[in-house]
Amino acid sequence: MPDAALPQPRTTPLPNVATLRREYRDALGRPLVGTVALTGKTGVKTGQLTVPPVSVTAKLVDGVLAVDLPPDTYTITSHRLHTAEGASVTVRDEVTVTT
């Protein structure tokens, strides 16, 4: 039996989104490495498009989280986040995204 097809990324951006940008650094100013989970509280419905409040994982690039999100209140929690030395870091933030 063939494997199920993977979902294809959208070729057009989601309507009505805003960029969320956060920097994560250690006490010496070095960028943290890893991923965080973002979970919306209420979800978004725009016309025929529905974005449910599910958890998604995003990778930090040079200690920066930069994602385009529809308006909602999101909880950001560390998934696999660590310092340059490999020490685990716990993060839990709540942020409201508006357009």
pLDDT tens across 20-61, in order?
999 999 999 999 999 999 999 998 887 787 888 888 999 999
User: Alpha-carbon distance 16 to 89, whole Å?
Assistant: 32
| pTM (predicted TM-score) | 0.77
Check residue 18 and give its pLDDT. Answer: 87
**What does pLDDT average to over the chain?**
86
Q: Which amino acid is at 90?
A: T
Structure tokens at 50: 């529905």
Dihedral in degrees, nearest 10, Cα atoms 68, 69, 73, 78: -60
Q: Which domains does the chain have, with CATH numbers?
A: 18-97 (2.60.40.10)
